[in-house]
Chain A
Amino acid sequence: EVQLVQSGAEVKKPGESLKISCKGSGYRFTNYWIGWVRQMPGEALEWMGIIYPDDSEIRYSPSFRGQVIISADKSISTAYLQWNSVKASDTAIYYCASPIGVPGTFFWGQGTLVTVSS
């Protein structure tokens, strides 16, 4: 069974660093792009960027380039989304998502709520 399992909710203060994760199982992790999606409170889904775990090729959406770091560790089938210094405006739910198997068949993680507040 294909699964994407994300790390738990985080509460951070502005300026702190943060790294959240998404672990894939039930499929060959290295063979499929895996990406991150932001959903701010009451707002639409936004595609942040995507990584190909086999060679770590990364494509960022322009709005997120320089704001976050996407990475992956293929040895443990895990993708990451990282901030060096979070801001209040980073408060959102973050989902990982990947088109696995049949083209265009997207699987989603359960989401990670990130709250940034002083």
Chain B
Amino acid sequence: DILMTQSPSALSASVGDRVTITCRASHGISDSLAWFQQKPGKVPQRLIYMASNLHTGVPSRFSGSGTGTEFALTISSLQPEDFATYYCLQHNTFPWTFGQGTTVEI
């Protein structure tokens, strides 16, 4: 199985901060990586597909990068509504696997 190591597991930040979350795959996954945002009690919302493509309607302060085994999600200027938990998902190789999540808190 491909292990997705996401870091950090939690971070404290302030409005306006630049935040970067990373996911490392145990084996190469090309660019088959998605990023999701989940708020408490809500369905995960898609942010990024194929490592670096922003879904329609997602604010441009979110960006994704990487290929192969190293990936990053960056929020350029944190907004109050961005405090949430973020997950990466590799869908290159079965079984698909999530990172363990990063909680962004104040």
A: residues with CB less than 8 A from B are 35, 37, 44-47, 49-50, 59-62, 95, 99, 102-106, 108-111
Given contacts A44-B87, A47-B89, A110-B43, contact A104 B95 (CB under 8 A): no
In the complex, the answer to whether A45 meets B101 with C-beta atoms within 8 Å is yes
With a CB–CB cut-off of 8 A, which chain A residues contact B89?
45, 47, 106
A52 CB → nearest B CB, Å: 11
- Docked Cα-Cα span, A52 to B87, in Å, equals 24
Given contacts A44-B101, A47-B89, contact A105 B95 (CB under 8 A): no
B: residues with CB less than 8 A from A are 1, 32-34, 36, 38, 43-44, 46, 49-50, 53, 55, 87, 89, 91, 94-101
- Docked Cα-Cα span, A111 to B98, in Å, equals 17
In the complex, the answer to whether B98 meets A47 with C-beta atoms within 8 Å is yes
With a CB–CB cut-off of 8 A, which chain A residues contact B97?
47, 61
With a CB–CB cut-off of 8 A, which chain B residues contact A108?
43-44, 46
In the complex, the answer to whether A35 meets B96 with C-beta atoms within 8 Å is yes
In the complex, the answer to whether A44 meets B46 with C-beta atoms within 8 Å is no
Residue contacts A-B, CB under 8 angstroms, 21 given: A44-B99, A44-B100, A45-B44, A45-B87, A45-B89, A45-B101, A47-B95, A47-B96, A47-B97, A50-B94, A50-B96, A62-B1, A62-B95, A99-B91, A102-B49, A103-B49, A104-B53, A104-B91, A105-B46, A105-B55, A106-B49
